[in-house]
Amino acid sequence: MIKSRALFGEFLGTLILSVIGCSSVAFSVLFNVFDSIVPVALIWGIGVALAIYATKSYSKAHLNPAVSLGFFIQKQINYKELFSYWLFQLLGGFVAGLVVYLCFISKIKSFEDLNNIIPHTDSGSYTAAIFGEFFPNPGYKLKLSYVSQVSACAYECIGTFFLMWSILCSTRSEKISRYSPLIIGLTVSVLIVWIAPYTQCGINPARDFGPRLVACFFHWGSGAFPDGDFSFFNVYIISPMMGAFLSSFLYEKMYKIVKG
């Protein structure tokens, strides 16, 4: 039987990290308070660490459907827990999107009017990127005029591979497990600095899809999705899942070889 406190933990943790992270993007886009991507990356990492610390007594603190899939491969959760975790992680991301929307929508509309941004068009990606990811990163379009869907998928897959590997290494070691939230948060920060210029660094389907739905329903419509098609599904949902799957599978194989 799945404990309700575990589901609440997954919901709350995903909500916390998404609100903190998406808000940092909002401040960067709307107020131009950061002169580089590093502060945003650090805030995301801190948000992840705080979310894990806040909820690890309630649940396993996966807070990411790809991570839950990785632990399913490790046989640490069953399929019922997997699908339940996915649902509540997505709900957490969606509610986080609502919170961020309510906090910033008036400023978003003013910013769009001032900069001639039309939400339902390609130009709307600049503000919609507060909620869901785009490739290339709208803030870097002048520097990165083109990022193919294949390249974007590769970045998201590899990034999630490293994230899952970091999680498995830090949580399996008794010596450092108490510091695992900080290690995981730092890993997220490093990955964002590396990948965000290309894809905004999703590496978490719930953090992407939940807030993206809010953007679609309440202001941006089809402009909430890259190119108006389902490329976001391949890049920000399938690719992170593949990365976590491969990481968990290979880690287990290597772990068994090392342990003999």
What's the rounded Cα separation, in Å, for the pair 11 and 66? 15
Domain limits for position 224: 4-259
Tracing tokens 């953090």 back to the chain, one arrives at 207
CATH of residue 68's domain is: 1.20.1080.10
DSSP per-residue letters across 164-182: HHHHHHHHH-TTTGGGHHH
Contact 228, 220 (CB under 8 A): no
pLDDT, averaged per 10 consecutive residues of the chain (260 residues), comes to 90 99 97 93 98 94 98 95 98 99 98 95 92 91 75 98 97 88 98 96 98 96 79 95 98 83
- Give this prediction's pTM: 0.95
Looking at residue 259, its pLDDT comes to 75
What's the rounded Cα separation, in Å, for the pair 155 and 202? 10
Looking at residue 144, its pLDDT comes to 64
Looking at residue 228, its pLDDT comes to 53
Of 67, 204, 70, the residue nearest 133 (C-alpha) = 204
Looking at residue 54, its pLDDT comes to 97
Looking at residue 258, its pLDDT comes to 80
What's the rounded Cα separation, in Å, for the pair 121 and 228? 9
CA angle 35, 41, 47 (to 5 degrees): 130
Number of domains present in the structure of the chain = 1
Phi/psi for 200 (5° steps) reads: 70, 0
SS3 content of the chain, % helix, strand, coil (to 5): 75, 0, 25
What's the rounded Cα separation, in Å, for the pair 77 and 79? 7
Looking at residue 146, its pLDDT comes to 80
What's the rounded Cα separation, in Å, for the pair 66 and 85? 11
